[in-house]
Amino acid sequence: MDATTKVTLFSILMLFWSHAECNHLLHPLDPLTPSELNLVRTIVQNFYPTSQNLTFHYVGLDEPNKPEILKWLSSNNSKIKPKPRPPRRAFAVVRFQKQSHEITVDLSTHSIVSTKDCEGNGNPMLTFGEQAVASQLPFSYEPFKESLKKRGLNTSQVVCACFTIGWFGEGKTKRNVKVKCYYANDTANLYARPLEGVAAVVDLDDMKIVGYNDRYVVPVPKAEGTEYRASKLKPPFGPKHKGIAVTQDGGPGFTKDGHSVSWANWNFHVGFDIRAGPIISLASIYDLQKQRHRRVLYKGFIPELFVPYQDPTEEWYYTTYFDSGEYGFGQSMSSLQPLNDCPPNAAFIDAYYAGSDGTPVKIANAFCIFEKYAGDIMWRHTEISIPNEVITEARSDVSLVVRIVSTVGNYDYVIDWEFKPNGCIKIGVGLTGILGLKAGTYTNTDQIKEDIYGTLIADNTIGIYHDHFFTYYLDLDIDGEANSFVKSNLETVRVKDDTTPRKSYWTVVSETAKTEADAKINLGSKPSQLLVVNPNKKSKQGNKIGYRLLPGPAARPLLLNDDYPQIRAAFTNYDVWVTPYNKSEKWVGGLYVDRSRGDDTLAVWSRRNRKIENKDIVLWYTMGFHHVPCQEDFPVMPTLSGGFELRPTNFFESNPVLKTLSPKLVGWPNCTSQH
C-alpha cells in the first residue's frame, strides 16, 4: 500500500467517523469532537499543496447564527416536529508560508465553505508546539552557552520559555517572541530562579534566533525555600485538619446529557473553546409561579485576560500579556485533580483542542461540576415581636458550580460559574500559582535606593507589580432577545419643607441607555445599579423585569491611554460596555492579538455608537485586580479570590426560593447524631 492510498483511506475513515458522530450529537453548541478535529485537519491539509510549514493556531466551532439556535431550541421544546439540527461548521486559523489564513469548514458536507487571507495587523495565538521548539533554540546557540558558562550553571538544569513582546509603535513587525530562561536545580519552582539579564529573540516563522542580550549578571535566587511539592517538603507541617466526608443520597442532584446540564431549577450548556476556555450558554431558570423555564443568559465567557507588568526596564517593559488571545485560555486548561481541585461529589468533562499539527489533544478532567454546600444560609428570619412566641425559619443554601483551572505560564486561574436556586449566577475568579519574579542584588529593603517596580519578597527576589483584568462577554437575554440597559443612579435629595425633621434622603433616578456611548461606565464615579431589563415585559406590579450586575473588585487601568499596551487593551478603559449583538464581535482584543495595534477592539467597534435600546444587546464587564506582591505570596501564592454576580431584579413576582426546603440530612451507617 503506497502513501497516497494510506492518506486516502485515512480521509475516508475520518469522514465516516465524523458523519457517524455528528448524527449522535444532540446539541449544535457542543464543542468540536476529536473526530471532527481530525476531519478539519484532513480537509485543510488537502487544501494546501503541501502540509510542510502548515500550522493550526485555532480550530473551534463556527457557531450557527443566533436566530437558528433559538428556532431549533423553540421547536425542540414544543410539541411540533423538531427542526433539524443546524449544520456543524468549524472555523480555523492556520499559518502557511508565513501568512495567516482563515478557513471555514462545513462538517456535514466535508467541504471548505470559505477562505480568507489575513492582511491586517497582529498574529494568531501561539501554539504549544512552536513554543516548545523555540524554547530549545538557545541551547544550541553559542552566546547562550557562554552566558551559562560565565554564571557557572549546569546546562541540564536550565529551562527556557517563550514570552510575547507586544507592540510599541514599530512600523513593521514579525512573529517574534522573547525566550527567557530559569535555573531549576534542586526545585520544581523554576520561575523563582530566573536568569536575569539574559534573553533571546526568536522569529517563530523562521524558527531561529534573531537577537540576543546578556546585559548583566545578578545572582540566581537560591533554591532553598522555593519548593512546593508535598513530597519534597519537610516537617514541621501546617495546621492539621480533621477528615471531612461528602456524600449525596442517591447520587448527584444534577443530570448531564453530553454538555447539557439540568439542576434544580436551572438548565444550561457547557462549551469549550481553545482560546476562551469555558463557555456557558442557554442558561434558563424554571419559574415555579409561571410554571415554565425563562431565558436569562444566551452566552457568557472570558474573551480576554490582560496582565500588564509594571517594570519599564529593558528586560521587562514588554511583559504585558493577553492570556486568551496570545496564549489560549482554553488550551492552557489543566486536568483537575479529584478531591483537591474539586470535591468528591464532582463529575468531570474532558476537553479536546487541535494541536499545532491539527491532531486532537485531550485535556482529561478539564471541567468539574458539583453541588456546593458550604453551610451558607439561603434565607432566614427570627421573629420575636409576637407575644409569647419566637418564630425562626431558615433555609440552607446549595448551589451548582462549573469549575475550570487555566494555567498560563506561572499563574493558575480558577474560574467558577455558580448557579443558585434564587436565580443568581455568581462568577468567581481565583488567582494562585507563582508570581512574576525578577532576580536582583538586594536581600533587605534597607539596601534599596531606587524604584525596583515591585516588592522584595525573598533574598535576591522581587515580585513585580502587575494587574489582572478579566473581561467577560455576557449576552443576557432576559425573557427574550429585546433588552435595554438601565442605569439606576442613587441621588441625594434635600428636603425643602418643614414637615419632617429630616434634611435629606436618597432616591433612584433611572435612565435607559439609547446608544453605546450612553452605556460606557466606570464604576464608582457615582452610586448606581446597572440592570439589563426587558422593556416589553413587566411584573404584576408594573416593574420591568431584569437582572442586575453586582460588580466585583473595582480596579481600573493606571497606564496612560496613549501607552502602547493600553492602546491594545483599550477595552479596559471602561468597566462596562454595552453593544448590539453581532456574531463577529467576539474577541475584545481582536481576532489577532499577538503584536496587535489596538485597531480591532471593543473600543473601536463602539465608536459607531449604535442604538442599543430594546435591542439584542451584549454586556461586557471587566473585573480587575491590582496586585502588589507580598511575602505571603511566595513561593506559591495562596488563592486570591474575587467575583461578581448577576442577580434577578423584579424578574420573579416574589422570592423564588420561598418554598425551597433545605436538603435532608443523610444518615450514616452505624452512626447516631447527638443534639
Residue 615 pairs in a beta bridge with 483
C-alpha cell at 319: 511583559
Beta-carbon-side half-sphere exposure of residue 30 (alpha carbons within 13 Å):
25
The answer to whether 437 and 218 have CB atoms below 8 angstroms apart is no
Cα–Cα distances in Å, from 572 out to 18, 125, 311, 538, 611?
Answer: 41, 20, 20, 34, 21
Angle made by CA atoms 321, 324, 326, in degrees to the nearest 5: 55
Is 411 part of the annotated catalytic residue set? yes
3 state SS of 326: coil
Measure CA 383 to chain center. Answer: 44
Catalytic residue among 191, 309, 353, 411: 411
> Does residue 323 have an active-site annotation?
yes
What are the phi and psi torsion angles at 220 (to 5°)? -75, 125
Burial environment of residue 265 by CB neighbours within 10 A (0 to 12, 13 to 18, 19 or more): buried
Side-chain half-sphere of 318: how many Cα atoms within 13 Å? Answer: 20
Q: Is the dihedral of CA 117, 121, 126, 130 positive or negative?
A: positive
Helix (H) or strand (E) holding 9, with range, is: helix 3-24
Which residues face 640 on adjacent strands?
A: 431
Give the active site residue among 323, 341, 479, 575. 323
Of the candidates 623, 245, 256, the residue with the CA atom closest to the CA atom of residue 426: 623
- Sort strands 466-476 and 89-96 into parallel, antiparallel or unpaired: unpaired
For residue 635, say if its preceding peptide bond is cis, omega within 30 degrees of 0: yes
CA distance 225 to 253: 44
Give residue 291's region: left, alpha or beta (phi > 0; psi -120 to 50): left
Active-site residues, by number, are 323, 411
